Chain A
Amino acid sequence: MNEAIQLILFMVALAALAPLLGKYMAKVFMGEKHIMKPVFGWFEKSVYRVSGIKSEEEMNWKTYLYGVLLFNLFGFVLLFLLQILQAYLPLNTEKLPNVSWHLAFNTAMSFTTNTNWQSYSGENTLSYMVQMLGLTVQNFVSAATGISVVLALIRGLTRKTTDSLGNFWADMTRSVVYVLLPLAIILTMALVGQGAVQTFSHYVKATTLQGTEQVIPLGPAASQIAIKQLGTNGGGFFNSNSSHPFENPSPFSNFLEMFALIIISASLVFTYGHYAKSKRHARAIFITMYILFAVGIAISLWSEYSHNDVLNVSGGMEGKETRFGVMNSVLWSVTTTVTSNGSVNAMHDSLSPLSGMVSMFNMMLGEIIFGGVGSGLYGIIIFIILTVFIAGLMVGRTPEYLGKKVEAFEMKMAILAVLAPSIVIKLFSAIACSVPAGLSSLNNAGPHGLSEILYAFSSAAGNNGSAFAGLNANTVFYNLMIGFGMLIGRFGVIVPVMAIAGSMAKKKITPVSLGTFKTDNWLFVLLLIGVILIVGGLTFFPPLALGPIVEHLLMNLGVTF
């Protein structure tokens, strides 16, 4: 009962607060007056002054994209260098050695792409310096990159006959200063209040009741946790992520962290509504996401709680967050995979086959059900373009979206954006389960092993970062494969998205009439869900059948892995 109330509270809070935050963000990015301007306005201005940004200068899509790529390249190189040189740098209290080149490559790629896949174990591998200057900073800016790209796309879709898509540097700065930073500060305070650690002191050594010595790692965790959740990053300060009591001390902190990881992505949908001057369209997108999210939760809960006659278990607790119960573990697992967050409070490896599949499928769809901060929205807009094209033809007009014709160029780019993550998941998994270097990392046999590999590459391609922990990913093979997977999954989408933004901005807007394909009603919601599920389902049915589906069927026959 208590769990049901928590679940309902979560869903209601999401639907209630997203429009409010969405409106606030619209004000921030449209340059209107808002409550944070007096508080942080000086900060925004000084950033512009110091870095010589002319915030009013509009960019075309190529210039904007150039800014995105250059900025991320710089972030990647910096993070890579910080890791391979950490032994020579300050704030390395535990005297941790330099990180191996391939792990550094993987981690740098992971944090610049907003994935936060962790092949390393935070407390044993990275110094405070790397965690703060490298990871935490990337947690902010990779999320801000996502927001900026979607802002450019939104402007492209809502402006007419223009080249200008806004200013990348201004969008970045505003995302950080007015959205991510204030929310992170509030969340950090709340988490510290609940007992999350935030310190620079040495790890604590304690003697346990058995008389053995235990090292208890500490660190400036709370601040990183706040942004890892808010920015759909997901990279924990500690290896066990939000199942670690220092990261996630109480049921309330658990609730807050879950809520934080979805709220910005959900709110951006409403921000879009303000730009497009169509709250109804925003609501339709939100409802689509909300339904897919709710169905995922329902399947997962059903699968976890349903009684298995052969094994005689129900509501299996293996790998779940024992402090908060099965529901909170399941809710977190679905929430963290629909958004591209990837932080965990339970071991997804131990989820029942079907709820594991739900998590995996969420990522395979390309992280579009709420999705990553910014990236979720631009991802679903790609699917909307596909939907509008296929279904829109059936009303007897050249398909149009928000009054703009969808033509060959947009189609080409949309297909590229769908293909990029799809290639990573299918081809990279196929390679991994065919070569010894891929197979030797598996801890589990049978279909579960295949699921682990699929999960890893789905996580990389969707820039999620969560893992079916059964896979030993810190090998040269996986570090490189997953590293490139994250790169393709992120920028293989961003580049075509920016191209669409550029070409849509140039178009005229056809006024709405009765002959227009409506994108703000239930029919549209159903069509969008249909296209998402059918395209996703058709693309991934064979591997899912050979992984989690057969595992589920076998489990019902009493065979487990």
Chain B
Amino acid sequence: MEKQNMSRLFTREIAVQAIKDSFIKLNPSALVRNPVIFIVGIGALMTTVVVILDIYAGNFSSFNFQITLWLWFTVLFANFAEAVAEGRGKAQADSLRKSRTKTKARRLVHNIEEIALATDLKKGDIVICEAGDIIPADGDVIEGIASVDESAITGESAPVIRESGGDRCAVTGGTKVISDRIIIKVTSDPGNTFLDRIIALVEGAKRQKTPNEIALTILLSGLTIIFLLVVVSLPAYFGYSLKASGVPANHNLTLPVLISLLVCLIPTTIGGLLSAIGISGMDRLLRKNVIATSGKAIEAAGDTDVLLLDKTGTITLGNRMATEFIPAEGFTKEQLADAAQLASLADETPEGRSIVILAKEQFNIRGREINPTGTVLIPFTSQTRMSGIDLRPNGQLRSIRKGAADAIKTFIQNNNGFFPEKVEEVINDLSRQGSTPLVVAENNQVLGVVHLKDIVKGGIKQRFAELRKMGIKTVMITGDNPLTAAAIAAEAGVDDFMAEAMPEDKLQRIRDEQANGHLVGMIGDGTNDAPALAQADVGLAMNTGTQAAREAGNMVDLDSNPTKLIEVVETGKQLLMTRGALTTFSIANDVAKYFAIIPAIATLLYITSSGVSPLSVLNIMKLSTPESAILSAVIFNALIIIALIPLALKGVKYRPISATRVLALNMVIYGIGGIIIPFIGIKLIDMLLVSTHMI
């Protein structure tokens, strides 16, 4: 999908559509989902009736009219915030929808090919795709290997390899085969494909309130009820005070004034922005090419305090690399390199390739064509745990092997050779450093050791340090032996590691952590990761992974970049922080609004010989008139929603520091700032209103 520039929050089209939507969202059945804004809507309706009655009675009040206008604006601004957030999602959904396939599929029925509509494909159907075909539905490759362009989904133009069996068998409907031919077994019914679900999610069609959002809505509703009580009980106190002041009952506490007070007090700022925050959280993840299956998953990500990370790909660069040739006594480095390269020529594993490359780099030994006669390639098997080559250059057998130390030892002994002690020392040394020693032997002689090293990703150690500051524990999972694992763990700076881990161990570890009250996040791609992904609180499946893994996790990373889990956690935290910050800001705002409105309505009370009410000392902002004071408060209250839309969409600034420091910082910005800013804002609006004679 098209990656949008983050600096531009929304385009013209989104804005225009959002303005339209703001009016559509005035529909009460939509409005009622947001209790705070719903109350504002009712208030606006009531003042509208007052204005109409005023006109019929022939005493039009400009003040009441302006109040009414701004109350409607308050509702519209809240709707606009939500519409913009949805609009950004919709824009992405549209670009996704374009890639949804309308093509024909080549379905195999009893080995006979027939043409079917992609939308008619059912789970379990078998289809054939060749170069140039668009894959008609989600499925698993059951035969063949092909390169597939997945840019429609991931935005990544480089093609990926999809092959039957193993962990890279899943294909997604809408992607395009660029080479070769594969046979696919469809794994989803029409309308329920991966793409369909993504579209539904980003459009917010299926958006449900998340648990934390529900709890916050309850808090906001509670505050609304409290302030409703304040406003409902006020006329009684006010009536009493008027009588005590000897003022006739015809007073200035009119319905529009009361409704203005109510709207200013209830938390409209956070109420208006709440759903925008939620939608944009999902949207921000999507911009990082991660698709969450629910908002709940993003929240859970923020809560995660243990991350299980696979060593390979996440902490270290894909695979081990040869970094050094250490010859045994009596051999040169070059001899060793030459033999090692020969033994690796047929080895298509990354380790094997890295040996070939290292030999070329260090000694300019080129990969050779191997004379087929008499040459036997010995592939790696789990029984021998060696690979290599048997050559007969001059009729004489050269039997070159490379493999783990104990396997080579057996090989040497079988050939009546002996294993040098010096080499043994080197092996132990390398193991202790966390490297893998690969021993190379020819016939009955040990040539030396290839130093295979796990390359820890650059910057990962600092990333883990940041996570630690945020209180998140990292656990490295690896199949390596404990010694190697410990060394890499130390180098990468993880908090804990699991060595010689089997898939079942992962699941057990998650259960254990959860039993101790932790929330666990993990990454997985293989089918055997599926149970663990499902068990984890946040399961991030790789898009390159199997269908089973993608189904089991609650997020999918389209880039298949395992480091992404860390960003997911950050996005989750940012989402919750934004909610908390705006809630605090919203409540803190009320202080200034009281100081604007209470003196404004109390002007007639207990007037002394000086001609003013003693309560006028509460007018510390020195607002011009009671009307301008109330109107300024209402206008500020409406405009602040608009002003904070960018913050709601982008989220508050995220910093990898401890909870206590984050809290102190946000408290100063949004708590104390929330008290001060409205004093300034209301005063400015008041000055503007007076200078433009709006009041």
Contact = CB atoms under 8 A, between A and B. Distances in A.
Give the size range of B's interface with the partner: 35 or more
A419 B226 contact: yes
A516 B471 contact: yes
Interface in B282-340: 299, 302-303, 305
Contacts of B299: 398
Given A513-B305, A538-B265, A398 B576 contact: yes
A411 B215 contact: yes
Contacts of B216: 389, 393, 411
A443 interface: no
A494 B469 CA distance: 39
Interface string A381-406: 00000100111111111100001001
Contacts of A407: 211-212, 215
A513 B244 CA distance: 58
A127 B215 CA distance: 51
B594 A538 contact: yes
B490 interface: no
Interface residues of A, number: 68
A8 interface: no
Give the most central of B473, B584, B608: most A CB within 10 Å.
Answer: B584
B663 A395 contact: yes
Interface stretch (A177-185, A333-341, A544-552): A544-552
Contacts of B235: 430
Interface stretch (B72-80, B83-91, B128-136, B516-524): B516-524
Contacts of B591: 534, 537-538
A514 interface: yes
B659 A517 contact: yes
B232 interface: yes
A543 B233 contact: yes
Contacts of A394: 576-577, 580-581, 584, 662-663, 666-667, 670
A429 interface: yes
B643 interface: no
A408 B218 contact: yes
Given A390-B219, A418-B226, A553-B617, A395 B244 contact: no
Contacts of B6: none
Give the most central of B469, B572, B654, B660: most A CB within 10 Å.
Answer: B660
Interface string A416-440: 0011001100110111011000010
Given A393-B579, A408-B218, A447-B244, A510 B230 contact: no
A20 interface: no
A322 interface: no
Contacts of B215: 389, 406-408, 410-411
A403 B265 CA distance: 32
User: Chain B: interface secondary structure?
Assistant: helix
B259 to A, nearest CB: 15
A539 interface: yes
A445 interface: yes
Contacts of B572: 396
B83 to A, nearest CB: 24
B233 A426 contact: yes
Interface string B599-622: 000100110100001110110000
Contact of B598 (A429, A446, A535, A542): A542
B376 to A, nearest CB: 57
Contact of B667 (A160, A391, A510, A513): A391
A418 B606 contact: no
Contacts, number: 224
Interface string B573-587: 110110111011001
A527 B668 CA distance: 11
B663 A391 contact: yes
A485 to B, nearest CB: 14
B222 interface: yes
Contact of B576 (A393, A426, A513, A535): A393
Contact of B234 (A518, A523, A542, A554): A542
B615 A545 contact: yes
Contacts of B583: 390, 393
Given A511-B518, A513-B471, A557-B608, A539 B226 contact: yes
B575 to A, nearest CB: 8
Contacts of A325: none
A445 B244 contact: yes
Give the most central of A396, A508, A553: most B CB within 10 Å.
Answer: A396
Interface in B375-433: none
B219 A411 contact: yes
A415 interface: yes
A418 B222 CA distance: 9
B671 interface: yes
A541 interface: yes
A389 B469 contact: no
A514 B663 CA distance: 12
Given A447-B241, A511-B518, A518-B659, A530 B233 contact: no
A509 interface: yes
Contact of A403 (B473, B517, B573): B517
Given A393-B576, A411-B215, A553-B615, A515 B606 contact: no
A537 B598 CA distance: 13
A422 B226 CA distance: 8
B244 A449 contact: yes
Interface in A348-407: 386, 389-398, 403, 406-407
Nearest to B245: A446
A386 B660 contact: no
A433 B663 CA distance: 43
Contact of B577 (A396, A403, A509, A510): A396
A537 B516 CA distance: 40
Interface string A316-350: 00000000000000000000000000000000000
B614 A550 contact: yes
B660 A523 contact: yes
B511 interface: no
B588 interface: yes
Interface in B434-474: 468-473
Given A430-B233, A550-B614, A550-B615, A396 B574 contact: yes
A501 interface: no
B226 A515 contact: no
B590 interface: yes
A158 B603 CA distance: 52
B63 interface: no
A239 B614 CA distance: 37
A298 to B, nearest CB: 21
A241 B654 CA distance: 58
A542 B237 contact: yes
A418 B224 CA distance: 13
A396 B576 contact: yes
A434 B236 contact: yes
Contact of A450 (B240, B473, B659): B240
Contact of B236 (A392, A431, A538): A431
Given A415-B218, A430-B236, A554 B608 contact: yes
Contacts of B303: 397-398
Contact of A553 (B468, B573, B576, B614): B614
23 contacts: A389-B216, A393-B577, A393-B579, A394-B576, A394-B584, A394-B666, A394-B667, A395-B577, A396-B659, A398-B299, A398-B302, A415-B221, A415-B225, A422-B229, A430-B232, A434-B240, A509-B517, A517-B663, A534-B588, A539-B229, A546-B241, A549-B615, A557-B614
Given A422-B226, A542-B237, 9 more contacts: A393-B576, A396-B662, A450-B241, A515-B470, A534-B588, A538-B594, A539-B226, A545-B598, A547-B237
Interface of A: 160, 386, 389-398, 403, 406-408, 410-412, 415, 418-419, 422-423, 426-427, 429-431, 433-434, 439, 445-447, 449-450, 508-511, 513-518, 521, 523, 527, 530, 534-535, 537-539, 541-543, 545-547, 549-550, 553-554, 557, 559
Q: Which 7 A-B pairs have the closest CB atoms?
A: A515-B471, A393-B580, A396-B573, A415-B222, A513-B471, A430-B236, A514-B471
